[in-house]
């Protein structure tokens, strides 16, 4: 009996066989993945900016080294993810152009400002924490290169989360000013972090198809609930409070109930009206534009060298690390 390509594809997915770049896939699957992976890659790279904001002001040499290493990890995540997306037939430059033209999104969380040192801890603990919730299931996502990239990324993200928590823990045991700094950062980051999981399930249009293709394995609301349950417990160790009067353990559901999310704010930030949208995108565009002559020079040099020695490894994208 003959089965269509589409049916064979779905059978593979149902049998948990990974889809690899050369395999046949529906065009919509390819496009969905390009959109999701590039959006994730952009988030890693734009996400370097709010934390990069504090490198030169880190309060100790140890903290400075930790922060530098963390942001370097995020750049590395961007690299793996751009490479994973490239296997689907889009170039990194194209993805950058989509970002710079405002046609590709990145996580809205990075459109919030980092105002005090405590924000470095809050980002590690809450933002990386929410990212892990989203990403651990992605280690089993149906597209092979994405799943493998996620395995590496998740290991580092959970390290970041512990470091962020530890940094807040020190503040929470410190002076009154440090405690206030810690609480203030939690207050500002909590709700935007809940929005990181995306709109509620009944308003999320991509979910059903993505679940069927096993790109996604849990719904937005399921992941959000897991995150709330985790953080509501961890915050007790910090002796701090989450800024939600409705947060309460629900014995019947065995979950924490939480208050209403301000979805109007979410949609506004997504539309470009968050506190730092313009700044973040302008910064990325400026880095790209200012770097144009550098990339040109590296390409020209690589061409000269390869003409000389048939060696093409000398480009600006060569991993010199």
Alpha-carbon distance of 166 to 176, in angstroms, equals 18
Q: State which of residues 45, 99, 133, 196 lies at the interface with other proteins (CB under 8 A).
A: 45
> If DSSP codes are grouped into helix, strand and coil, which group holds residue 250?
strand
Contacting range for other proteins; rule: CB under 8 A; set: 138-146, 193-201, 247-255, 310-318 = 310-318
Instruction: Judge residue 129's burial from the number of C-beta atoms within 10 Å of its C-beta, 0-12 exposed, 13-18 middle, 19 or more buried.
Output: buried
Q: Which stretch binds other proteins (CB under 8 A): 4-12, 190-198, 249-257, 292-300?
A: 292-300
According to the binding rule CB under 8 A, does residue 82 interact with other proteins?
yes
Alpha-carbon span 218 to 227, nearest angstrom: 12
Q: CA–CA separation, 72 vs 263, rounded Å? A: 32
Q: Which does 243 bind (CB under 5 to 8 A by kind): Fe ion, other proteins, none?
A: none
Taking CB under 5 A as the criterion, the residue among 63, 77, 188, 214 binding Fe ion is 77
42 contributes a contact to Fe ion by CB under 5 A = no
251 lines the binding site for other proteins (CB under 8 A): no
Which does residue 237 bind out of Fe ion, other proteins, none, counting CB within 5 to 8 angstroms by kind?
A: none
Q: Which of 34, 104, 131, 232 binds Fe ion (CB under 5 A)?
A: 131
Helix H or strand E segment including 292:
helix 292-309
Measured CA to CA, the distance from residue 222 to residue 198 in angstroms comes to 11
Distance in angstroms (rounded) separating the CA atoms of residues 149 and 196: 20
- Least gap, CB of 243 to other proteins (angstroms): 24
Question: Does residue 282 interact with other proteins by CB under 8 A?
Answer: no
Please tell me whether residue 211 binds other proteins under the rule CB under 8 A. Answer: no
| Lookup result for tokens 């299931």 | 137
Query: Nearer to other proteins by C-beta: 205 or 321?
Result: 321
Beta-bridge partners for 19: 143
Express the helix, strand and coil content of the chain in percent, nearest 5 each. 70, 0, 30
Instruction: List residues binding other proteins (CB under 8 A).
Output: 45, 48-49, 52, 55-65, 68-69, 71-72, 75-76, 78-79, 82, 117, 167, 170-171, 174-175, 177-178, 283, 286-287, 290-298, 300-301, 304, 314, 316-321
């Amino acid at each position: 009996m003959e089965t269509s390509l589409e049916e064979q594809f779905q059978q593979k997915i149902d049998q948990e066989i990974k889809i690899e770049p050369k395999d046949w896939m529906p065009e919509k699957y390819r496009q969905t993945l390009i959109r999701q992976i590039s959006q994730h890659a952009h988030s890693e790279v734009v996400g370097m900016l709010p934390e990069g904001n504090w490198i030169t002001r880190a309060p100790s040499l140890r903290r400075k080294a930790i922060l530098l290493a963390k942001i370097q990890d995020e750049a590395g995540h961007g690299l793996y993810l751009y490479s994973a997306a490239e296997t689907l037939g889009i170039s990194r430059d194209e993805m950058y152009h989509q970002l710079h033209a405002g046609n590709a999104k990145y996580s809205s969380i990075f459109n919030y400002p980092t105002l005090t040192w405590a924000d470095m801890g809050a980002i590690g603990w809450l933002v990386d924490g929410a990212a892990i919730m989203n990403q651990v299931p992605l280690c089993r996502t149906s597209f092979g290169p994405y799943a493998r990239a996620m395995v590496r990324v998740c290991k580092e993200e959970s390290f970041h989360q512990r470091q962020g928590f530890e940094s807040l823990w020190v503040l929470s045991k410190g002076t009154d000013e440090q405690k206030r700094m810690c609480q203030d950062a939690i207050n500002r980051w909590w709700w935007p972090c809940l929005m990181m999981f995306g709109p509620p399930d009944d308003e999320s249009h991509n979910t059903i198809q993505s679940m069927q293709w096993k790109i996604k394995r849990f719904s937005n609301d399921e992941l959000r609930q897991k995150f709330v349950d985790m953080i509501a417990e961890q915050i007790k160790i910090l002796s701090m409070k989450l800024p939600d009067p409705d947060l309460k353990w629900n014995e019947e559901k065995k979950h924490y109930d939480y208050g209403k999310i301000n979805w109007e704010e979410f949609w506004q930030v997504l539309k470009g009206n968050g506190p730092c949208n313009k700044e973040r995108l302008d910064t990325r565009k400026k880095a790209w534009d200012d770097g144009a002559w550098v990339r040109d020079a590296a390409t020209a040099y690589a061409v000269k060298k390869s003409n000389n020695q048939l060696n093409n490894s000398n480009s600006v994208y060569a991993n010199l690390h």
